[in-house]
Copies of this chain bind each other. A is one copy, B any other.
């Protein structure tokens, strides 16, 4: 399978390395800047690269667009036409973004949080795939299954909610860690002391529904503790978060 990779950011890099491990290294990569294209090419045993979309091979089997959501439409409008299968890797972008440009298209979305500093093993990353034909859906399913043990089909409507759910479970959760860190720092306490609790809270989610795992003053709606804790927070946004989250926990566990 001849794979063409468009993008050289975090996700593109990690994906390219994972594909390479499976003997599926991209045949050519594109990046807007020469430097990042060259850097990724070097990590891929000097695969071809270009900074000019017009130079991309048109005989690829699969074109993977692993770029920022916002630049995708512009890129697509500059792509040379071809008969390959075009996919993007985004949580929030509809499959139909490809319709004006390609006959065969789909989505190849690995749901994980990628950082430059951490290498991520794809084995355990869920892939959500879809395509505009059953044949291509199967092709993407087989490819994803070579990288990961967890492959799901999800249409664009489901994927929107998936991405939204991930914002709650990952982005917002990490922000709560940040706020926790701030509160601790302000009172001379080490964030590392919080790590076992963070780990256990995450591990529990694998063991029982999070609804059943809920603990703390808000589920009991212990107004005494809630009021005392609220009063400790000087920062108005922090206090708002404390109050809203407590109310939401209470509403969730005591529906009218």
Q: Say if the beta carbon of A81 comes within 8 Å of chain B.
A: no
Interface membership of chain A positions 120-132, coded 1 if the CB is closer than 8 angstroms to chain B and 0 otherwise = 1000111010000
A164 to B226, alpha carbons, bound, how many Å?
10
Q: Say if the beta carbon of A99 comes within 8 Å of chain B.
A: no
Contact between B205 and A195, CB atoms less than 8 A apart: yes
- Given contacts A112-B197, A174-B214, A215-B174, are A189 and B158 in contact (CB under 8 A)? yes
Q: Which residues of B contact A192 (CB under 8 A)?
A: 206
- Given contacts A164-B183, A164-B232, A237-B248, are A170 and B196 in contact (CB under 8 A)? no
Q: Say if the beta carbon of A97 comes within 8 Å of chain B.
A: no
A150 to B203, alpha carbons, bound, how many Å?
20
Contact between A174 and B225, CB atoms less than 8 A apart: no
Contact between A166 and B194, CB atoms less than 8 A apart: yes
Contact between B252 and A175, CB atoms less than 8 A apart: yes
Contact between B174 and A176, CB atoms less than 8 A apart: no
Copies of this protein in the complex: 2
Interface membership of chain A positions 216-242, coded 1 if the CB is closer than 8 angstroms to chain B and 0 otherwise = 111100101100110011000110111
Q: Which residues of B contact A216 (CB under 8 A)?
A: 167, 170-171
A107 to B158, alpha carbons, bound, how many Å?
49
Q: Which residues of B contact A237 (CB under 8 A)?
A: 244, 247-248, 251
Q: Say if the beta carbon of A113 comes within 8 Å of chain B.
A: yes
Contact between B248 and A171, CB atoms less than 8 A apart: no
A22 to B152, alpha carbons, bound, how many Å?
47
Contact between A201 and B161, CB atoms less than 8 A apart: no
Contact between A158 and B174, CB atoms less than 8 A apart: no
| Number of residues from A at the complex interface, CB < 8 A | 96
Q: Say if the beta carbon of A143 comes within 8 Å of chain B.
A: no
A194 to B114, alpha carbons, bound, how many Å?
15
Q: Say if the beta carbon of A69 comes within 8 Å of chain B.
A: yes
Q: Which residues of B contact A154 (CB under 8 A)?
A: 189
Q: Say if the beta carbon of A71 comes within 8 Å of chain B.
A: no
Minimum CB distance partner of A187 in chain B: B161
Minimum CB distance partner of A238 in chain B: B248
The interface of chain A, by Cβ under 8 A from chain B, is: 69-70, 92, 111-115, 117-118, 120, 124-126, 128, 150, 152, 154, 157-158, 160-181, 183-184, 186-211, 213-219, 222, 224-225, 228-229, 232-233, 237-238, 240-242, 244-245, 247-249, 251-252
7 A-B residue pairs with CB within 8 Å? A120-B200, A160-B228, A172-B241, A176-B176, A178-B252, A191-B210, A198-B206
